[in-house]
Amino acid sequence: MKFKNKVVLVTGSSRGIGASLARGFAREGATVVVNYLQNKAAAEDVVTSCLELGGDAWAIQADVTNEQAVGEMVDEILLEAGKIDIVVNNALKSFVFDPDKRKLAWQLTWEDYQGQIDGAVHSAHNVCQAVLPAMKKQSKGSIINMVSNLVERPIIPYPEYTTAKTALVGYSRNLAAELGPFGIRVNCVAPGLVYPTDASRDTKEEVKEMIIAQTPLRRLASPSDIEGPVLFLASDWSGFMTGQTLFVDGGLVMK
């Protein structure tokens, strides 16, 4: 029970990677806050599974791109649980990884970029700003921001998505440098293509096979493959790591 008595907020955790992460923390005894935007039923299903796995959990609806909504969510967590130990910024603006339907670089407008930047960086900024006073007061905390291996190897160009995730890496490194003296660590996890998720469900078989052929471990990641690396960065086992990006893609990116 590595995370017994720890309070964990996972944004965008009603489905996909976020739901898997919520269950992973619950399995290790954490109290998990399942943040969701629209699908209350799915979020409640994740809460139920967290309880069945031995953790504690409840769901909170909040649009993480809305500063006021995030502030109210964090206030509720602090009122109910008294602290926030770990934050995983997993929420993102809806995006579909379909090479045949993606916009090419010369077809993109700034609004396309801005939407992804708001979904990745603005949302993480809102959450971090809201939790930092409590983390600074307790002189400890771990923030994990979910990015993508596309920031190092855009095997298929998705310029607006990849630009936003690259900006989130830069944001995270600067935050790590600023917050280290307060005992707060900030790291990133960069998965490759994770299947199945809503974002990857339209990825064609030939694309998946191409990625698998170039991946040393010869398969795609499943949502559960992301659990271990995130829990590692959230735990004291990584207590002297901050400002790092951990690539979880079967070796497609090697650094």
Domain of residue 15: give its range. 7-248
Kindly state whether residue 166 falls inside one of the protein's structural domains. yes
Q: How confident is the model at residue 1 (pLDDT cuts 50, 70, 90)?
A: low
Kindly state whether residue 45 falls inside one of the protein's structural domains. yes
Kindly state whether residue 30 falls inside one of the protein's structural domains. yes
Kindly state whether residue 2 falls inside one of the protein's structural domains. no
Q: Is the pLDDT of residue 198 over 90?
A: no
Helix (H) or strand (E) holding 159: helix 159-179
Pick from 250, 198, 192: nearest CA to 219? 250
d(CA 12, CA 2): 23
* CATH classification at residue 64: 3.40.50.720
Tally of domains within the chain: 1
d(CA 151, CA 173): 14
The tens digit of pLDDT for each residue in 69-112 reads 999 999 999 999 999 999 999 998 888 788 888 899 999 999 99
d(CA 139, CA 179): 10
Residues known to be catalytic: 161
Kindly state whether residue 255 falls inside one of the protein's structural domains. no
For residue 186, CA distances in Å to 9, 10, 16 come to: 14, 15, 22
Kindly state whether residue 112 falls inside one of the protein's structural domains. yes
Kindly state whether residue 254 falls inside one of the protein's structural domains. no
Q: What is the mean pLDDT of the chain?
A: 94
Q: Is the pLDDT of residue 175 over 70?
A: yes
Pick from 68, 14, 23: nearest CA to 50? 23
